[in-house]
């Protein structure tokens, strides 16, 4: 093959999977095995939030023609020792509204749903406890937060510093339950191939990395890894909800084992509000102390959030506060309430999304109290080193993001007074907020097969959840091999491929890319014989994780208009400038920033899952009542990034971009709302009714 000196990384390459998707040739999970005479599963879900099943009558369901089986805790296959939050159909215990208590398997999906409605379940139900409050006497500190962060952090005498501060604020912000709603519902197609101890569980599944599921599913069914094969080449969005194993995957495997058939199970949109996690609600108290010139002297960020009875999930909500701004006295704490709710899970930029909303809103309030421009306040508190870990930054270009963003947005000359600018009946305001997200590398391996005269086959169990990984990894491989992109045959989304980390935490490209580069480096040292050669490369976190503090940064600017008659809120324009290392692909990169900013707008103005305190269920569990931003809600989006490369962190110099677009976006909009109206809304979302309270 002829080597090329042209670089694919950094070029504006269109998605290589695009043509297959628009032609319907990129199957999602539920579309696999169309000719397999599949049978279908419908779930029966608990109407009780807490208690026990005292009886199940399945006779009417079993009498429906076409029904093959009705699984309950009395007859379902026994599972191995799996995490408590996904134990399903194993006991009579009920832990949240919507927990599966039976599953009907039938020849058609229509028959399965009809029969499921005929199952009669009796409960010994207890009143649900689902209300998050700061005055609960059962709040507790978890041993650690998600991703291994310390639960609390304290530097200096925070209370004394706050008491001595010439200027201080003490404010509380609340974010609601929010639900991941990717366009593709969670779905699993399952079949057991072979008999007895040799049977292989074959699964086509919507997930964020097949290897993520392997440990749990093999343990659940008592099989070895070579007896499980999971395929997931195309995924229609995830936002964190498809990162882990959920109950529907185990039920699909059970149903396939009981019936001996290929089984299809797709959750309904309503079921996704109970069975695949959510973003925990938060109550966050922010106290900031400062000198009259804006220099921060104390930061205190105390978080209360919920977790479930059957699993502990402790979101790292205040961890971004530990590194954003310099201050000699600092404190962050996290406390949990264990409630009768489904288990929370990760949702785009977990921790940073709610935490930076609160911190950046508080910084805006402090700027108003001090009479200092909010951009200038952030610049005056820029730390030279990570203030928590006392190590240098791999790169930190927040200042550049703020300055470039201010220039692009037209911030100069902004009248700081709130509620004074109008356009007809619309009040007009502008706001700013900073953004950050950690940069990580996770262990991953890649394989390259080289045969003379044929494209290189590059295999890695990466996952493209709509972010553009098919394209970006092909670009990386092409450059590493020094060939054009059409000489790379990429294989991803299969548990039989070399093990890679899942898609999540903005770690995909920073983990998978270096593994491909490592494999290519090995190949460069080998002679390729006529029969071909195969090499494997590995990559993972190194000493850079200890030596440097690595984070992406950004700045959001927003214009908000509020109708004085109706309280309607509009966001005609937003500007986002980001520092994320080398951007592998400008087209897919911009798409990720745009999606994140849009999701932040949706968080600010629309998204809220409302818990019925009496019954313990989410009352608005569909897209008719769980509102998300539509096209008409999104105005002009000016997106750019600074020119930087983070070679200290990984060979690509990239930082990951999937999460940071949402971080801080809601705060910028909330701050602009205050500037437009003179009113602070400290509990999201900013719905029209809050104009009148």
**Beta strand spans in 353-425 (E):** 422-423
Torsion over CA of 510, 515, 521 and 524, rounded to 10 degrees? -130
DSSP label of 407: H
Asked whether 571 and 586 are in contact (CB, 8 A), the reply is: no
* 424: region left, alpha or beta (phi > 0 left; psi from -120 to 50 alpha): left
Residue owning tokens 């809050």: 690
Of 33, 99, 184, 659, catalytic: 659
Contacts of range 563-567, beta carbons closer than 8 Å, 24 or more positions apart: 563/425, 563/426, 563/688, 564/425, 564/426, 564/427, 565/425, 566/688, 566/691, 567/687, 567/688, 567/689, 567/690, 567/691, 567/692
Distance CA 567, CA 346 (A): 32
Please state, in angstroms and rounded to a whole number, the distance separating the CA atoms of residues 437 and 580: 9
Backbone phi, psi, residue 531, to 5°:
-80, -5
Alpha carbon of 532 to those of 299, 525, 535: distances in Å?
Answer: 60, 14, 10
What are residue 136's phi and psi, to 5 degrees?
Answer: -65, 145
Rg (alpha carbons) of the chain, rounded to whole number:
26
Contact 659, 348 (CB under 8 A): yes
Measure the CA–CA gap between 116 and 470, rounded to whole angstroms: 39
User: Which uninterrupted H or E stretch holds 470?
Assistant: helix 469-481
Phi, psi of 519, rounded to the nearest 5 degrees: -65, -40
Catalytic residue list contains 85: no
Taking the C-alpha atoms of residue 144 and residue 147, their distance in angstroms, rounded to an integer, is 9
Distance of CA 581 to the CA centre of its chain: 21
Angle CA 434–438–442, to nearest 5: 160
Kindly state the helix (H) or strand (E) to which residue 191 belongs, with its residue range: strand 187-193
| Secondary structure percentages of the chain, helix, strand, coil, to 5 | 25, 25, 45
Token pair belonging to 90: 């194993």
In angstroms, the CA 331 to CA 261 distance is 56
Element (H, E) at 481: helix 469-481
Q: How far is CA 258 from CA 100, 200, 224, 231, in A?
A: 17, 14, 20, 22
Residue 651 buriedness (CB in 10 A; 0-12 / 13-18 / 19+): middle
Sign (positive/negative) of CA torsion 46, 47, 52, 54? negative
Which residues are catalytically annotated? 659
């Amino acid at each position: 093959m002829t080597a090329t000196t042209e670089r694919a990384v950094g070029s504006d390459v269109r998605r290589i999977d695009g043509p297959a998707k628009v032609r319907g040739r990129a199957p999602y999970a539920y579309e696999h095995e169309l000719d397999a005479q599949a049978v279908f599963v419908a779930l029966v879900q608990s109407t009780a939030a807490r208690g026990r099943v005292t009886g199940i009558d399945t006779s009417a369901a079993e009498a429906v023609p076409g029904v093959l089986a009705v699984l309950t805790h009395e007859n379902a296959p026994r599972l191995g020792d799996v995490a408590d939050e996904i134990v399903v159909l194993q006991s009579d215990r009920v832990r949240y509204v919507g927990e599966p208590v039976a599953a009907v398997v039938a020849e058609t999906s229509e028959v399965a749903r009809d029969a499921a409605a005929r199952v009669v379940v009796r409960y010994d139900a207890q009143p649900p406890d689902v209300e998050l409050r700061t005055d609960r006497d059962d709040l507790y500190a978890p041993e650690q937060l998600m991703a291994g962060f310390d639960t609390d952090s304290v530097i200096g005498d925070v209370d004394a510093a706050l008491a001595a501060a010439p200027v201080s604020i003490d404010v509380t912000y609340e974010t609601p339950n929010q639900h991941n709603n990717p366009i593709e519902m969670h779905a699993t197609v399952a079949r057991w191939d072979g008999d007895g101890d040799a049977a292989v569980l074959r699964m086509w599944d919507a997930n964020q990395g097949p290897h993520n599921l392997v440990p749990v599913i093999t343990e659940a069914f008592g099989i070895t890894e070579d007896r499980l094969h999971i395929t997931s080449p195309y995924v229609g969005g995830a936002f964190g909800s498809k990162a882990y194993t959920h109950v529907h995957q185990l039920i699909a495997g059970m149903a396939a084992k009981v019936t001996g058939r290929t089984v299809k199970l797709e959750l309904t949109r309503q079921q996704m509000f109970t069975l695949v996690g959510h973003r925990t609600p938060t109550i966050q108290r922010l106290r900031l102390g400062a000198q009259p010139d804006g220099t921060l002297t104390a930061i205190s960020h105390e978080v209360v959030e919920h977790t479930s009875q059957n699993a502990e999930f402790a979101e790292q909500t205040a961890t971004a506060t530990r590194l954003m701004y310099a201050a000699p006295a600092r404190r962050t704490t996290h406390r949990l309430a264990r409630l009768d709710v489904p288990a929370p899970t990760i949702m785009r930029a977990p921790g940073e999304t709610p935490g930076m909303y609160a911190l950046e809103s508080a910084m805006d309030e402090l700027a108003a109290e001090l009479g200092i421009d909010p951009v200038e306040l952030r610049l005056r508190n820029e730390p030279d080193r990570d203030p928590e870990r006392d190590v240098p930054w791999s790169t930190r270009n927040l200042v550049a993001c703020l300055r470039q963003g201010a220039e692009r947005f037209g911030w100069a000359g902004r009248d700081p007074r709130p509620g004074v600018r109008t356009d007809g009946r619309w009040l007009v305001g502008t706001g700013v907020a900073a953004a950050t997200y950690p940069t990580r590398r996770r262990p991953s391996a890649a394989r390259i097969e080289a045969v003379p005269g044929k494209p290189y086959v590059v295999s890695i169990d990466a996952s493209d959840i709509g972010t553009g990984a098919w394209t970006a990894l092909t670009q990386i491989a092409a450059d590493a091999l020094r060939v054009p992109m059409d000489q790379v045959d990429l294989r991803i989304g299969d548990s039989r491929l070399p093990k890679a980390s899942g898609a999540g935490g903005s770690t995909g490209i920073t983990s998978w890319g270096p593994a491909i580069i490592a494999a290519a480096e090995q190949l460069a040292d080998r002679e390729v014989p006529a029969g071909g050669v195969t090499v494997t490369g590995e990559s993972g976190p190194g000493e850079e994780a200890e030596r440097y503090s690595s984070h992406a940064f950004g700045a959001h600017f927003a214009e908000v208009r509020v109708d004085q008659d109706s309280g309607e809120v509009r966001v005609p324009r937003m500007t986002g400038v980001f520092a994320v290392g080398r951007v592998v692909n400008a087209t897919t990169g911009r798409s990720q920033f745009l999606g994140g900013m849009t999701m932040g707008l949706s968080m600010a103005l629309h998204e809220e899952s409302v818990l019925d305190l009496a019954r313990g269920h989410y009352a608005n569990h569909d897209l008719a009542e769980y509102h998300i931003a539509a096209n008409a809600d999104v105005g002009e989006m000016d997106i750019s990034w600074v020119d930087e490369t983070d070679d200290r962190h990984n060979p690509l110099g990239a930082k990951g971009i999937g999460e940071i677009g949402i971080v801080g976006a809601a705060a910028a909009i909330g701050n602009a709302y205050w500037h437009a109206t003179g009113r602070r809304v400290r509990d999201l979302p900013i719905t029209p009714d809050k104009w009148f309270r």
